[in-house]
Structure 1
Amino acid sequence: MVISSLSFRSTKRFFATVRQSFWYPRSRSDLDTVDKSYENFVEKLEISYPGSDDVDYMSWLRSVRNYSTSVNSEVPDVFYPDQANKTWSLLYARLRELHYLYACDEHKSNLKDLENLGVYTGEKIPQLSQINNWLSSKTGFKLIPVGGIINARSFLYGLAYRVFLSTRYIRHISVPFYSPEPDIVHELMGHVPLFGNEELAEFSQEIGKKSLGASDADIEKLAKIYFYSIEFGIVGDKILGAGILGSCKEIVHVKEDKCDFIGWDTKKILSMDFTLSSYQPAYYKTENLSEIKKSVMEACNLI
């Protein structure tokens, strides 16, 4: 784990499954009862967790994680200390520069909208309430806070109802370009601008719908489809994937290093193992957003 989004792929958000009956949420409100337990990286990494020796940071981190709210309730604002906002400022300045150079048009358009509205600034971390107000007017998606990386089934269930189960803590300022787990930077700079686009919101939701009542084996397949499109997809010569767009170093790797780009191949994707601790061996590419949407829908229909 050497850079931010690479560590995100060490998580189980998109591949771990839970053994449970075929109960599934029949409405958005039913999402309140799905399993939102998360992998505890603080306990897992102990003293190697960034900021573990910073008493104030760790106390704040616990307070942010240990909060839950109903999916139909307004999300209360969280307190971000000065240190957290400084971390955001460092990352935001660099990421927005790279996004305007290399992100797909759909992402850039919504990033500009968020900036014009004053939701995104370099001064402070946006609140989920602000994001939800914006998304409500765009696509109806909603961010609900969770404590960390949850299982793939619950995550996909949320997408089925246009709910994104989101972290809202931020990495420690000592390592602004690295995090052992996804944080608010990944969510807001990688995912949110894309959820504001109706086409992207629609096919994210379609992947989620396929998870309702799905077997564990099919959940893993859906996770792979999500992983190679929404998280690490390329459209034309631009970046679509939120997993790439949330990492300064991976953006540079994709655009400036000699990466392998492969046309979308559902059978190959479903047979692949996940690459968790390094750059992807290859990135799947389509010519435009409509093509990747069509490919994803066809892949989902095979499950």
Structure 2
Amino acid sequence: MFTEAQLYSPVTRGGDGAVRVRLSAEHPGAQDREYRARRDAIAALALAHTPGEPAPRVAYTEREHAVWRTVSAELARKHRSYACAEIRLAAREFGLPADHVPQLDQVSAALAPLSGFRYAPAAGLVPLRQFFGSFADRVFHATQYLRHHSAPLYTPEPDAVHEIVGHGTQLASARLAALYVAVGAAARRLRTDAALKFLADVFWFSLEFGVLRERGEVRCYGAGLLSSYGEIEEFRAARLRPLDVAAMGTAGYDITHYQPVLYCARSFTEVEEVLGAFFTGMDDDTPARCARDGRLPV
């Protein structure tokens, strides 16, 4: 999804047409031939998909459903303690199954009356401009594979849990979905790589790792936190800074570790107003204006 794509699992097609997902040596499933073959097969389904057609159905195994059940139960419990009210309301309306992995078309059907978003299959990393730009059409490109069964509460890359429990729950909120649409419109009008990266960095610190204050507590709304069994319990220990798009668009971060700095809104309304105005008004000159006039990280 982001510029740190080399940390995810590249998908390639050989001269013989065979699809291969290259897992890093540190990946929990790297030495599991059955899991690797499974990843290749699921990626091949996505690559064969024709846009506009129903998403391919994955015949999930009992082991994959068991991973989903384990993660769903743990995250549902943690959302009650750490997610903001808008997310908890969206989750209730979304009504994700807790006992089996939903198909992407089922996710789309659940989102349709809530925000109009639909899911499209992705074999792996989607080019940044395409990934963000599709939001303007209320389309979210999502992977369909599950993390390795040996580590159900950990994944080094976005999997179906992240895409559906994290982003899907956000997209079940019409208010958050409106921000996604604004991101998509911005991505389509931007022409420079510098501006696109600035947009991606603001997205990272907000719709991926956003937090806010609510009734005296810091709670999360970012998909990266909502889908992380470990980090959702640790984000309150991060250094909290005010919601500031100039700082968010220029701050460095390491996606392989828990985020040490987060940008905390004073309320969900501030999230809507500040991010909505930024995404709606962003252009190719925004990074330069922020460097010249904005408040930069200290």
Query: Structure 1 length normalisation: TM-score?
Result: 0.82
* More displaced 10-residue stretch of structure 1: 132-141 or 262-271: 262-271
Partner SS, residue 204 of structure 2: helix
Give how far 1:15 is off.
2.7
Out of 173, 189, 200, the residue aligned to residue 197 of structure 1 is: 173
The one of 260, 268, 271 equivalent to 1:281 is 260
SS of 2:241 mapped into structure 1: strand
Which of the numbers 44, 48, 55 marks the counterpart of 1:66? Answer: 44
Residue type of the alignment partner of 2:125: I
| Structure 1 partner of 2:290 | none
Quote how far apart the aligned CAs of 1:16 are.
5.9
Which one has a larger percent strand, Structure 1 or Structure 2?
2
1:64 shift after superposition? 0.7
Q: Tell me the equivalent position of 2:76.
A: 96
Aligned to 1:140: 116
Aligned to 2:208: 231
Is 1:77–2:57 an aligned residue pair? yes
Deviation at 1:302, TM superposition (A): 4.1
Q: Distance in 2 between matches of 1:84 and 1:141?
A: 25
Change (3 A) 1:293 1:149: same
Deviation at 1:53, TM superposition (A): 3.1
**TM-score after normalising by structure 2:** 0.83
What residue identity is the alignment partner of 1:43? R
Kindly provide the amino acid, as one letter, of the partner of residue 208 in structure 2. Answer: E
User: Is residue 2:144 matched to residue 1:153?
Assistant: no
Distance (Å, rounded) in 2 between the aligned partners of 1:210 and 1:221 = 11
Indicate conservation of the 8 Å contact 1:149/1:181, yes or no.
no
Question: AA paired with 1:276?
Answer: I
Aligned pairs (5 A) from 1:100-139: 100-115=80-95, 119-121=96-98, 123-139=99-115
Gaps of 5+ in 1: 1-12, 18-37
Give the Cα separation in 1 of the matches to 2:196 and 2:23.
Answer: 25
In structure 2, relative to structure 1, the CA distance for the partners of 1:16 and 1:98 (3 Å cut) is: closer
Q: What amino acid is aligned across from residue 259 of structure 1 in structure 2?
A: A
CA distance in 2, matches of 1:224, 1:89: 32
Alpha-carbon shift at residue 110 of structure 1 (Å): 2.3
CA-atom RMSD, angstroms? 2.0
User: Aligned partners of 1:213, 1:262: CA distance in 2, in Å?
Assistant: 29
Does the 8 A contact of 1:64 with 1:147 survive in 2? Answer: yes
By relative contact order (CA 8 Å, sep 6+), the higher-ranking structure is: 1
SS at match of 2:249: helix
Unaligned runs of 5+ in 2: 12-19, 284-298
Select the residue among 219, 235, 251 that pairs with 2:232.
Answer: 251
Separation of aligned partners in 2, 1:175 and 1:229: 27
Residue 277 of structure 2 is aligned to residue 298 of structure 1:
yes
Residues 1:278 and 1:53: Cα distance change in structure 2 (over 3 Å): closer
Structure 2 Cα separation of the partners of residues 175 and 44 of structure 1: 15
Distance 2:231 2:108 in 1: 27
Which residue identity lines up with residue 55 of structure 2 in the other structure?
A: V
Instruction: State how far apart, in whole Å, the 2-side matches of 1:83 and 1:131 are.
Output: 21
Alpha-carbon deviation of 1:250? Answer: 0.4
Residue equivalent to 2:291: none
Residues of 1 paired with 2:108 and 2:238: CA distance?
Answer: 35
Please identify, of 50-59 and 73-82, the stretch whose mean Cα deviation from structure 2 is larger: 50-59
Which amino acid is 2:115 matched to?
T
CA distance in 2, matches of 1:51, 1:246: 19
Question: Which whole-Å CA distance do the structure 2 matches of 1:71 and 1:233 have between them?
Answer: 31
Q: Distance in 2 between matches of 1:78 and 1:66?
A: 11
How many pairs align? 265
Return the alpha-carbon distance in structure 1 between the equivalents of residues 151 and 172 of structure 2.
Answer: 29
**In percent, how many aligned pairs have the same letter?**
27
1:271 corresponds in structure 2 to: 250
Letter in 2 for 1:128: L
> Mean Cα displacement is larger for which, 292-301 or 145-154?
292-301
Shift of 1:112: 1.9
Shift of 1:78: 1.0
Measured in 2, the distance between the counterparts of 1:94 and 1:174 equals: 16
Q: Which residue of 2 aligns with 1:175?
A: 151
Go from structure 1 to structure 2 and tell me whether the alpha carbon gap of 1:147 and 1:137 turns closer, same or farther (over 3 Å shift): same
What residue in structure 2 maps to residue 216 of structure 1? 193
CA–CA distance in 1 between the matches of 2:63 and 2:166? 22
- 1:193 and 1:269 map into 2 onto residues whose CA distance is 23
Contact 1:39–1:150 (Cα < 8 Å) also in 2: no
Q: Hey, what does 2:10 align to over in structure 1?
A: 39
**8 Å CA contact retained: 1:16, 1:220:** no
How far off is 1:39 after superposition?
2.5
